[in-house]
Structure 1
Amino acid sequence: MASKHWANSLRPHKLPLRRRLARASVALIYRQADDGGVELLFIQRARREGDPWSGDMAFPGGRMQPEDATPRATAERETLEETGVDLVRHGRFQARLSDLVTRQHSRWRPMVVTPYVYEWRGPQSVLLNHEVEQTVWVPLNYLAARENQSRLPWRTPFGTLKMPCCRYQGYCIWGLSYSMLQELLAWDRSHNAVTTSKQE
């Protein structure tokens, strides 16, 4: 069992001005693999001209709409629309992670992104929409292993930065998705949630 210090340090951070900014949500979805391990679901974004994240690896999700009752409902709706994965019927909600700030597509205005963690207990089939090129299930142990961490050169107006990332079979997980992944791994180490779910 994790110490009280760890549990306190992993409480999700909620940005105080989040309700005044554009909002988006994503779903971090894990499942038990055939070999007894745990896999995490990623999408590869469709390649589209003018999209700064075209072809990137990400978690399913998107912008909050007026009809969404909560940011969590946004994550569930967007996941269903993008992948056909129905979290309301077959997902088991686990946790809310910390808010992150990014910019809106084609704009420089800030947007708050909130990640939600789910365990998937439904069918393996997916139904992708035009925003998603493919889905990829990646072993959680692979994502957590230190030897699989790398650096991605990222050009900015101020020079080239070496961004932390994880490479898997030709895919590269970096940016906001990498930050969310690190908090998920820390959350699991603290709560043993993924390990416990495998034993149920």
Structure 2
Amino acid sequence: MAHGEHQPAASSRWRLRPREIPFRRRLTRAAVALIYRRTDHGGTELLFIQRARREGDPWSGDMAFPGGRLQPEDATPRAAAERETLEETGIDLVRHGRFQARLSDLLTRHHSRWRPMVVTPYVYEWKGPKAVTLNHEVETLVWVPLDYLADKENQSKRPWRTPLGTLNMPCCRYQEYCIWGLSYSMLQELLAQPLTQPRQ
């Protein structure tokens, strides 16, 4: 683990052994925030953003978690996730978020080039106000019930064209939205945790 990246231990109710990519310090780094909240009726909802539609962006309009690349001013990847979330949505995780755990590193590529990039997800419980302020990178924000995301009946496939042919990628469809790719992988790791269990 790189200097300055030490994270507080996750709560004992999290069954986590997150994977770390060994050579991640040599690659471009990014971080995202998986933010959940409790509802008045005892349920749990997870926050997604829909990326703004931009010409030339292969992930344009996709569902994602708020976050982005590390900048020189970011002391840690987690700090980058918190800064990017504030910039994109107005959600202040430092003031109103309760850090829960780090999930496994994932390897992807830059949006505009084929260079590899490591993405680290961080999980927070949201305890703040409902108001949000979206910037130009975000088209909309959606809270999705965790029970819906976990239901096998709501899982589907999305065709994805590659230079080697078309792949049928696993996804979850909610209303007119489709959650797939890296976000879907992070979601599956999150769903393996006892988020919906009562607190001890």
Distance 1:101 1:75 in 2: 16
Measured after TM superposition, the shift of residue 194 of structure 1 is 4.1
Distance 1:45 1:68 in 2: 23
Counterpart code for 1:115: P
Name the structure with the higher helix share.
1
Residue aligning to 1:92? 98
Residue aligning to 1:195? 197
Tell me how many residue pairs correspond in the alignment.
Answer: 187
8 Å Cα contact 2:35-2:126 kept in structure 1: yes
Distance 2:87 2:37 in 1: 20
Q: What SS is found at the alignment partner of 2:197?
A: helix
Q: What SS is found at the alignment partner of 1:196?
A: coil
Deviations 1:32-91 (CA, angstroms, capped at 9, x unpaired): 123321000000000000111000000000000010000000000000000000000000
Counterpart code for 2:197: T
> Sequence identity of aligned pairs in percent?
80
8 Å Cα contact 2:43-2:196 kept in structure 1: no
Runs of 4+ residues over 3 Å off in structure 1: none
Residue aligning to 1:117? 123
- The two structures, once aligned, show a CA RMSD in angstroms of 1.3
Distance 2:66 2:136 in 1: 13
Q: Please, which moves more after superposition, 70-79 or 34-43?
A: 34-43
Provide the TM-score with structure 1 as the length reference: 0.91
Distance 1:85 1:19 in 2: 28
For residues 1-200 of structure 1, the aligned pairs below 5 Å read 7=15, 10-186=16-192, 188=193, 192-197=194-199
* Structure 2 segments unaligned to the other structure (5+ residues): 1-13
Distance 2:42 2:68 in 1: 31
